[in-house]
């Protein structure tokens, strides 16, 4: 069975650390998935990364879930390219989940109405309107099609990104939507939306106040709260603040830093 690492971390109230995957390739994804025993999830970024949703997401999900034996590796999370301000999210959620993703991440969800739509597209009836029929989702989970149908609603995490002023204003209503599991703070677009520079590396103090408000709102509604970080020390700080799901680095960031550090040591 594919990894339940993310869901298990949520259920045990442990911090789930992850990595952002922005570059495609089966072997690349597998290498990242095998990189650390502390890795709970990997976001397959089909929004700003160069991984196409079709067919790249499905191949990458399979590579991640098959990277370690007995489903012992990280959970694959697919961030779809369409944002919450568009009308094109429904088919993209369907494709990502039919590819076997363990969680769906939808950018720029700014209203409770959109959050309810995302949940409905992510759940089979009677909880939603997701259609059944993929020959691949259950195989990527390592279960039968009937078992997938019976268990998917309880084992797929729905994650919505809070990253603009409208979403901040509606955060309580979004968090209250039944079926939304995680509010994910996107500090870069959030900063821009509020009229501040992007984090360098930390957000502006005024943006930081709002980030803490989102954390409080999520926990007040009994939901998890996630945030994007760009380094281990930054991620450790967010963990101490109570964030439940934290990005630590990206594939490109880690690769660049690793090469730079090794060469710097070689020429020192």
Active site residues: 48
CA distance 115 to 125: 17
Q: Give the SS3 label for residue 226.
A: strand
Q: Strand pairing of 103-106 and 245-250?
A: unpaired
Among positive and negative, which fits the CA dihedral 80, 99, 249, 260? negative
CA distance 225 to 223: 7
Angle between helices 112-122 and 89-98 (to 10 degrees): 30
228 — phi, psi (to 5°)? -90, 125
């Amino acid at each position: 069975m594919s990894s339940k690492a993310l869901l298990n971390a949520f259920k045990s109230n442990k911090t789930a650390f992850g990595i952002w995957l922005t570059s495609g390739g089966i072997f690349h994804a597998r290498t990242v998935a095998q990189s650390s025993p502390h890795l709970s999830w990997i976001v397959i970024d089909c929004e700003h990364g160069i991984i196409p949703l079709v067919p790249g997401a499905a191949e990458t999900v399979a590579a991640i879930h098959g990277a370690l034996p007995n489903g012992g590796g990280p959970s694959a999370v697919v961030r779809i390219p369409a944002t919450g301000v568009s009308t094109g999210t429904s088919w993209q959620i369907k494709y990502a989940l039919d590819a076997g993703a363990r969680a769906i991440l939808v950018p720029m969800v700014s209203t409770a109405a959109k959050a309810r739509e995302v949940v409905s597209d992510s759940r089979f009836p009677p909880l939603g309107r997701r259609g059944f029929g993929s020959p691949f989702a259950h195989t990527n989970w390592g279960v039968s099609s009937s078992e997938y149908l019976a268990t998917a609603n309880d084992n797929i995490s729905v994650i919505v990104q809070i990253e603009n002023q409208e979403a901040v204003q509606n955060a309580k209503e979004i968090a209250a939507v039944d079926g939304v599991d995680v509010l994910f703070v996107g500090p870069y677009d959030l900063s821009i939306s509020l009229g501040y520079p992007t984090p360098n590396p930390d957000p502006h103090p005024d943006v930081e106040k709002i980030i803490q408000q989102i954390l409080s709102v999520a926990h007040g509604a009994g939901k998890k709260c996630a945030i994007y970080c760009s380094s281990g020390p930054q991620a450790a700080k967010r963990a101490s603040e109570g964030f439940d799901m934290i990005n630590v680095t990206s594939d490109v960031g880690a690769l660049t830093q690793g090469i730079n550090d090794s060469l710097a040591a070689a020429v020192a």
